[in-house]
A and B are shown apart, each in its own frame.
Chain A
């Protein structure tokens, strides 16, 4: 009996290790590729040991406008977070502290918005952006990201606010705080880890945005995802360059993710475990 249990455990471990290796491999391989000389990269059978080179990484950041794209992506993501999170926090606080059938309905309609087909909305946006001269601007991308981030951020933050007992609010009111003061002096700090989670997700959503960026940005406000997709779609000779760019794009996220794991997982599971 004991032996059988051991065997099962070994099988499970073996499967998990294999599974995780499969998950990690695409990223690992792209990283390897980006560090190879062409002769090593296109070798068949593939080369696991080689002399690395940083020349493609260097090229993509010095000879191609990737720094500009990075600036665009970061500006949009930062702008989104700075506007979207406070708005969502306010709304989430309101929803959390005022539970009624009406607010329940409102939360559900937020969920509905989150599930919209983006393609439906990108079309009027394109037409209107062109009309108002907002095409190819960072501003319009921030507007969109802020709006689309509201449902998710509000749901997340409401979940965090719900965990703060209402006695804390009442104590603050007794101490003479107005509702707004209660909000930003007492309750908001109480959900600091939740805020971190929301900021991470909001940032990521804006940083990773592709469809709207594809349609609404031109040469001036082009973002990293759009740029790399263009590179990737070209001939195989550009493979090394694209992989360098791609790794460059996700490297900061991966590092951040490892450091802020717990927050990230909390955010993923928050929506589910309400």
Chain B
């Protein structure tokens, strides 16, 4: 096929992204080296000043801790739950369709709306969560008002919303697994559990990794849910990096500093992106 011609197909889309994404990106990175207080322009160059201010800000480090803590618990929970439910879904004979339809539901809910739904359930006195807990004899904490539990409330809310994604992707993978290795193992007398460990899970590895990377990227950037549920409080317990960044930019109006936080976040995510692209390239070469 004529190679030159194909370039024209790619051009419009690339142009749009170049102008609307790449240029602002350049602008943001540039701004990170300036002191830019929005009400009183113009910005002036301060080199690494913003970065130093941020890296010496204890609230920044607190927000980093919150974010990493959140991501770790969130991903672990969703992965374990997701794999478990996917395997179960694969095993059942009747009702797969209904289960799948219902599992889709949280994904149809706008994240902000989902956050609100969750918030109402987590209210200490009238919330349904504590009501159900009381039915089994547990006195639920003040969830969103308790700085020890607030972050876990966000984890639960995000898990509610995003585990279906994990389940459906892994389930689709299970459906399309080659049957021969599994059947061969059964003939060899392998038990279900051994089948799982030595055949199914390794075959699913690329998918699990895909889900892991996707979820990590998204968990790192969580914002809507936090705003809907706690707004960053109580105290700093749910102030993730995104919330910190938002406050810096749109409450304190420190454009330069906020851009610097953004760049730092980008660098951290870049490590993940790079690792994943390396992995994808390796898989592509194998195939």
Chain A residues engaging chain B, CB cutoff 8 angstroms = 9, 12-13, 15-16, 19-20, 22-27, 29-30, 33, 42, 44-46, 87-88, 90-91, 93-95, 97-98, 100, 103-104, 106, 108, 111-113, 115-128, 143-144, 146-148, 150-151, 154, 166, 169, 179, 183, 207-208, 210-211, 215, 224-226, 228-229, 232-233, 236, 239, 242-243, 246, 249-250, 253-254, 256-258, 261, 264-265, 268-269, 271-273
Contact = CB atoms under 8 A, between A and B. Distances in A.
Contact of A119 (B169, B246, B255): B246
Contacts of A211: 223-224
A138 to B, nearest CB: 15
A254 B273 contact: no
Interface residues of B, number: 99
Contacts of B284: 104
The interface centre, meaning the residue of A46, A232, A257 with most chain B CB atoms within 10 A of its CB, is A232
Contacts of B265: 117, 119-120
A61 B125 CA distance: 29
28 contacts: A12-B91, A23-B164, A25-B121, A29-B117, A29-B121, A44-B126, A97-B6, A98-B7, A112-B273, A117-B242, A117-B262, A125-B24, A127-B38, A148-B21, A151-B17, A154-B13, A166-B1, A208-B111, A210-B227, A215-B250, A232-B119, A232-B228, A250-B108, A253-B109, A257-B107, A269-B169, A271-B210, A273-B173
A90 B12 contact: yes
B66 interface: no
B128 A29 contact: yes
Interface in B1-60: 1-3, 5-10, 12-14, 16-17, 19-21, 24-25, 27-28, 31, 38
B184 interface: no
B114 interface: yes
A228 to B, nearest CB: 6
Interface string B93-113: 001000111111111111111
Contacts of B196: none
Contact of B104 (A9, A264, A273): A264
Given A87-B13, A112-B277, A148-B21, A249 B110 contact: yes
A230 B103 CA distance: 28
A121 to B, nearest CB: 5
Contact of A253 (B3, B31, B99, B110): B110
Contacts of B182: none
Contact of A90 (B9, B99, B113, B217): B9
A94 B12 CA distance: 11
B120 A115 contact: no
A33 B120 contact: yes
Nearest to B172: A269
B280 interface: yes
B200 interface: no
Contacts of B164: 23
Contacts of A26: 106, 114, 117-118, 121, 160
Question: Interface on chain B toward A: helix, strand, loop, or mixed SS?
Answer: helix
B231 interface: yes
B263 interface: yes
A210 B225 CA distance: 10
A115 B102 contact: no
Given A115-B217, A265-B172, A150 B17 contact: yes
B272 interface: yes
Contacts of B228: 229, 232-233
B150 interface: no
Given A116-B269, A264-B104, A269-B169, 4 more contacts: A45-B131, A147-B20, A228-B116, A273-B207
A204 B190 CA distance: 45
B151 interface: no
Contact of A268 (B91, B169, B224): B169
A142 to B, nearest CB: 11
